[in-house]
Amino acid sequence: MSEVYAARRTKLRERCHAVGSESALISRPANVRYLAGAAPKGSVLLLGRTEDVLVCLDPPDDRAGEGRPDETLRLQTLPGSGGDPAVAAVDLASMQGIDALGVEEHHLTVARHRAIRSVAPRLHLADLGAAVEQLRVVKDEEEISCLRIGAEIADQALGELLESILVGRTERHLALELERRLVDHGADGPAFPTSVATGPHSGRRAHHPTDRRVEEGDFLSVCLGATYRGYRCEIGRTFVIGTSPADWQIELYDLVFAAQRAGRESLAPGAAYRDVDRAARQVLDCAGYGESLPALTGHGVGLEIDEDPQLAPAAMGKLDACVPVTVEPGVHLPGRGGVRIDDTLVVRPEADGGPELLTITTKELLAL
Amino acid sequence: MSEVYAARRTKLRERCHAVGSESALISRPANVRYLAGAAPKGSVLLLGRTEDVLVCLDPPDDRAGEGRPDETLRLQTLPGSGGDPAVAAVDLASMQGIDALGVEEHHLTVARHRAIRSVAPRLHLADLGAAVEQLRVVKDEEEISCLRIGAEIADQALGELLESILVGRTERHLALELERRLVDHGADGPAFPTSVATGPHSGRRAHHPTDRRVEEGDFLSVCLGATYRGYRCEIGRTFVIGTSPADWQIELYDLVFAAQRAGRESLAPGAAYRDVDRAARQVLDCAGYGESLPALTGHGVGLEIDEDPQLAPAAMGKLDACVPVTVEPGVHLPGRGGVRIDDTLVVRPEADGGPELLTITTKELLAL
């Protein structure tokens, strides 16, 4: 794996040169992990002139899912409550004779920036912007394989839940049960707080589970994901409780399903982000739900659950092959409930069979 | 409750005047919640000249545990993916004729600071520093009551676990089981990731649960906490598995217990933070464990699990009445394991009976 991390750092170095720096200080945890293999709490990565150094508060731990630092990196730990790793990294940069350093201004706080300036007043600090986030958009097959395993775990957890009795159980219990099953099946943990929404709550994005119990006739929307080796996937499904869904439930379900399928089918290398969003959105828009739609209908996933690209009306850019994204349109009718359907897929060229669906739980409307 | 939030904002206004601002932009989520009653994701609070405004991405939700915004605040939401609430708040500040604004430089990123500057180039931005964090140190009885309920919930969850069979179960399962029980008993959720450490892992601070199973003869350290109405408490205990602890286990336990008691007993209004730390630390130091001790032996708790004060050798300041802190010394022997004992207490004057212990689970060495 060392070569992978070293190759990523080489790519970043090339980007640094473009902003006039020969070196970089990476502080955003997911970016540190991407480039170093691990991101112990508070750690920063110095891409130096003579060597790259991972500066940590404490020695890296072999904790489940935290990753292991690339062995070709030098590790430096700060003893005890030994101050700010970013400041220590800047000290190292000075010792390496570095005079221009790229930093992540979208992550670095003003106070930390000032502390860096005060220990190295002559060091030129340039903004790297989202350079590392951009590198992270296209995944390699190793990364996709972690997402695939995470998706299998989420499918398993969801499948088991569907076999159990649901009526009478609370949203909070169902969410905890799902998270336990994720871990049972080998996840590092949930990829994000599991959402279980019943009845009038159903169909809401990121609904926080409450003490409401599942009732006959409810829509039940579930959204969960597993983290596997740091990589986070997402699946969302909506079910109906009881033997026969109401007509409005079937109609709404079919509509959201059609929107989600349209989004999925538009995934292809070269497709504009906004066109994927529009494909899903216009189905709901034409049916009169345009006003209440969420700001985006999908997003990238990887080391973070919500990363670039954003599939939204004003998003700029085009999909590449090997970009994993969610497609997750939904409609929520206040007071009644609604439907969300959410898959994680990997963009693949037509020649390779088109988009690869990672979350394979059925999208038929199941009556449970 | 409105009066409480308004009074907190009045106090902060007085601090603002001290740094030359008549108004403030609060962005750190726990600080927003402290002053506004709720902190919807991405929201910021403008303490304005003519009115205070909570600027949110989406309308506040009645989600469990998220709190409700103070009704005397004006709410402003940004439609759709409508940009940065901090920038919108600065626009409002300009409309109110504000020319100097206090900001939280330890939370605001360089990029956000720049965005604010570019929309209001003449606005003077001053650093508020940790003004809100300082206000948060001393709790009112309402806040302490939330912590007390959270501690009861954590005690209940832990007590139930101790009645179950432990041998053969993994750290990860025990941790999930505890978190489920926290929610069962009414917690908003865990206050931090529950730590369960067996055998050679025992005694490590913030150990991330693994697939190791509990074995006869192990030390078992558990650290958990409940969030109740946003307030987070912490309890840690160490047990021994099997009928008869080994001599080294009893000795180590007694030692850590003595250190933890010394720390607890030194809690009093006016006691220096470092003296509380020293009281606990020197017991372990004298026994020869000085080298391997953690950087702090306790910390404040409240809306965040790790807030001011820090009970550490170099900490400056003195305890006040009504400050809740943890006292949590521990010793970990690499390869063998160790002991941590952790309580949440509220500093109270002698006349009121001295420190109030919130986490009341026994600290006898239980053999399970």
Q: Confirm or reject contact between B127 and chain A (CB < 8 A).
A: yes
Non-local CB neighbours of A318 within 8 Å, separated by 6+ positions: A270, A271, A272, A273
CATH architecture of A2-135: 3-Layer(aba) Sandwich (3.40)
| Whether the complex's predicted ipTM surpasses the cut of 0.85 | no
Residues 18-57 of B with CB under 8 A from A: none
Cis bond upstream, residue B309 (ω within 30): yes
* Greatest CA separation for chain A: 72
Which of B67, B357, B65, B367 minimizes the C-alpha distance to B234?
B357
Q: B110 vs A111: CB contact, 8 Å cut-off? A: no
Nearest-CA residue of chain A relative to B208?
Answer: A63
Tokens of B53: 């405004």
What whole-number distance in Å separates Cα of residue A189 and Cα of residue A229?
A: 10
Nearest-CA residue of chain A relative to B81?
Answer: A295
* Neighbouring C-beta atoms of residue B292, cutoff 10 Å: 14
Q: Confirm or reject contact between A188 and chain B (CB < 8 A).
A: no
- Residue B216 and residue B241 in contact, taking contact as beta carbons nearer than 8 Å: yes
Give the pLDDT confidence score for residue B20 in this predicted structure.
80
> Helices A85-95 and A110-119 meet at what angle, rounded to 10?
30
Q: A312 vs B81: CB contact, 8 Å cut-off? A: yes
Q: Confirm or reject contact between B212 and chain A (CB < 8 A).
A: no
Superfamily, domain B2-136: Creatinase/prolidase N-terminal domain (3.40.350.10)
The dihedral sign for the CA sequence A51, A54, A58, A61: negative
Cis bond upstream, residue B313 (ω within 30): no
Q: Confirm or reject contact between A106 and chain B (CB < 8 A).
A: yes
Non-local CB neighbours of B246 within 8 Å, separated by 6+ positions: B217
Tokens of A136: 């992270």
DSSP classification of residue B44:
E
Residue A208 has its nearest CB partner, among B64, B105, B210, at: B64
- Residue B235 and residue B155 in contact, taking contact as beta carbons nearer than 8 Å: yes
Superfamily, domain A138-357: Creatinase/methionine aminopeptidase superfamily (3.90.230.10)
What is the distance in angstroms between the Cα of B351 and the nearest Cα belonging to chain A?
35
Instruction: Please state the domain extents for chain A.
Output: 2-135, 138-357
Give the pLDDT confidence score for residue A295 in this predicted structure.
84
* Neighbouring C-beta atoms of residue A65, cutoff 10 Å: 14
- Residue A324 and residue A358 in contact, taking contact as beta carbons nearer than 8 Å: yes
* Neighbouring C-beta atoms of residue A202, cutoff 10 Å: 28
Give pLDDT < 50 ranges for chain A. none
What is the distance in angstroms between the Cα of B352 and the nearest Cα belonging to chain A?
34
pLDDT tens by residue, A191-218: 999 999 999 999 998 898 998 999 999 9
Non-local CB neighbours of A232 within 8 Å, separated by 6+ positions: A147, A150, A191, A192, A225, A226, A301, A302, A303, A304, A305
A308: which chain B residues are within 8 Å (Cβ-Cβ)?
A: none
B172: which chain A residues are within 8 Å (Cβ-Cβ)?
A: 64, 183
Calculate what percentage of chain A has a pLDDT beyond 70.
98
Count of residues making up chain B = 368
Q: A109 vs B114: CB contact, 8 Å cut-off? A: no
Residue B106 has its nearest CB partner, among A105, A111, A312, at: A111
pLDDT tens by residue, A54-110: 999 877 776 656 788 999 999 998 866 568 999 999 999 988 889 899 999 999 999
What Cα–Cα distance (Å) separates residue B94 from each residue in A137, A232, B72?
38, 41, 21
Give pLDDT < 50 ranges for chain B. none
Give the pLDDT confidence score for residue B80 in this predicted structure.
61
- Supply the DSSP string of B154-197, one letter for each residue: HHHHHHHHHTS--TT-BHHHHHHHHHHHHHHTT-SEESS--EEE
Q: A64 vs B210: CB contact, 8 Å cut-off? A: yes
What is the distance in angstroms between the Cα of B186 and the nearest Cα belonging to chain A?
10
Mutation for B interface: A58, A78, A110, A227, most B CBs within 10 A: A110
Give the pLDDT confidence score for residue A150 in this predicted structure.
98
What is the distance in angstroms between the Cα of A350 and the nearest Cα belonging to chain B?
32
* Neighbouring C-beta atoms of residue A181, cutoff 10 Å: 21
Nearest-CA residue of chain B relative to A204?
Answer: B61
A176: which chain B residues are within 8 Å (Cβ-Cβ)?
A: 176, 179-180, 183
Which of B259, B115, A236 minimizes the C-alpha distance to B103?
B115
Q: Confirm or reject contact between A163 and chain B (CB < 8 A).
A: no
Q: Confirm or reject contact between B243 and chain A (CB < 8 A).
A: no
Give the pLDDT confidence score for residue B18 in this predicted structure.
80
A208: which chain B residues are within 8 Å (Cβ-Cβ)?
A: 61, 63-66
Alpha helices, H only, chain B: 2-18, 29-36, 85-95, 110-119, 131-137, 141-162, 171-184, 247-265, 273-284
Q: B63 vs A208: CB contact, 8 Å cut-off? A: yes
| Placement of tokens 């504009």 in the chain | A272
Mutation for A interface: B62, B109, B292, most A CBs within 10 A: B109
CA atoms within 13 A on the CB side of B331: 26
Q: A81 vs B295: CB contact, 8 Å cut-off? A: yes
Residue A108 has its nearest CB partner, among B109, B172, B207, at: B109
* Neighbouring C-beta atoms of residue A270, cutoff 10 Å: 11
- Residue A47 and residue A24 in contact, taking contact as beta carbons nearer than 8 Å: yes
Count of residues making up chain A = 368
Give the pLDDT confidence score for residue B81 in this predicted structure.
59
Tokens of B28: 């750190």
Residue B172 has its nearest CB partner, among A81, A110, A183, at: A183
pLDDT tens by residue, A166-197: 999 999 999 989 999 999 899 989 999 999 99
What whole-number distance in Å separates Cα of residue A158 and Cα of residue A361?
A: 8
A310: which chain B residues are within 8 Å (Cβ-Cβ)?
A: 81
Tokens of B351: 């006349």
